[in-house]
Amino acid sequence: MTTAPVYAEDVPVLAQERIAQDVYLLTVSAETAGAPGQFYLLRAWDRDPLLSRPLSLYTATDTTVSFLYQVRGRGTALLSRCEPGDRLTLLGPLGHGFRLADLGGRVAIVTGGIGIAPMRALAEQLLPQHVTLIAGFRSTPFALQDFERLGVHALVATEDGCAGTRGLCTDLFDPGRFDSVATCGPAPMMARVAALCAAAHVPCQVSLEARMACGVGACLVCACATLQGNRRVCTDGPVFDAREVVWHA
């Protein structure tokens, strides 16, 4: 399920909400909602920085698209300063999202930090009583209520122990209890989830992150190593079968 991407300037910002330390929820007006796991390139500035910023779809309605993102550098900092009424530039939806047909039975969604962002739209497409969110955070959790509202059961780990279990999300993840898995987060975490799933013969889909330029598969700067050679995170992914990805130590 892919919608042709649209390039639009002057897209109105409808809402900007700071929901945690450095984490924001941005809602814009858009009529081209992507599928879970797809992403958009955003920019709220002219030519500095040069590149747009890839953000995955958090939620969508018929007329809006929302992005949950963390301020990591200058681009995301500029995005976080957008207010309702401001205009930004949007290209998307882009890439291949989650293969819903392969997320059957009891589904585990395993996330680290801002890796929770592509999962809200996914959870919405699954039967909530069959979904367990296993979310890890460095400190104070965020966005959990958006999943609980769907009826999704959430297990939480925090590195500082301020909520849930002290430790990592992977400490709480037992692949034997699930039939399929979707994961997103820091690379070492995803590599660990992929290894646990492989050992338990549980299918796992990973949503990868990469520095991108064109976003449409032309420039080849967002390559990731796979069993079939280097592939493009932006168009061959960002969601890949975990068994295909070659994880670097």
Among 91, 107, 109, 168, binds other proteins (CB under 8 A): 91
Taking the complex as a whole, the smallest distance from the CB of residue 5 to other proteins amounts, in Å, to 7
At its nearest, how many Å lie between other proteins and the CB of residue 161? Answer: 26
Choose between 156 and 221: whose C-beta lies nearer to other proteins: 221
Indicate whether 104 belongs to the interface with other proteins (CB under 8 A): no
CB 55 within 8 Å of CB 80? no
- Judged by DSSP in three states, 144 sits in helix
State the DSSP H helix or E strand holding residue 11, giving kind and residue range, or none if neither: strand 6-20
> Are 179 and 107 a contacting pair, CB within 8 Å?
yes
The least distance separating other proteins from the CB of residue 164, rounded to whole angstroms, comes to 30
How many residues are given for the chain? 249
Instruction: Look at residues 228, 167, 168, 174 and name the one whose alpha carbon lies nearest to residue 199.
Output: 174
Binding marks (x or -) toward other proteins, 180..219, rule CB under 8 A? -------------------------------xxxx-xxxx
Interface pick for other proteins out of 1, 19, 50, 199 (rule CB under 8 A): 50
Binding other proteins (rule: CB under 8 A), the pick from 51, 100, 155, 156 is 51
In order, the DSSP letters of 94-135 are ESB---GGG--SSEEEEEEGGGGTTHHHHHHHS-GGGEEEEE
Query: For residues 64-83, which are near other proteins according to CB under 8 A?
Result: none
Q: Is 155 in the site for other proteins (CB under 8 A)?
A: no
Examine residue 34 and tell whether it contacts other proteins (CB under 8 A).
no
Quick check: 229 binds other proteins (CB under 8 A)?
yes
CA–CA distance, 15 with 28 (Å, rounded to integer) = 7
Q: Report d(CA 91, CA 143) in Å as an integer.
A: 25
Kindly list the residues in this chain that would bind other proteins in the complex (CB under 8 A): 4-5, 7, 47-52, 89, 91, 211-214, 216-223, 225, 229-230, 235
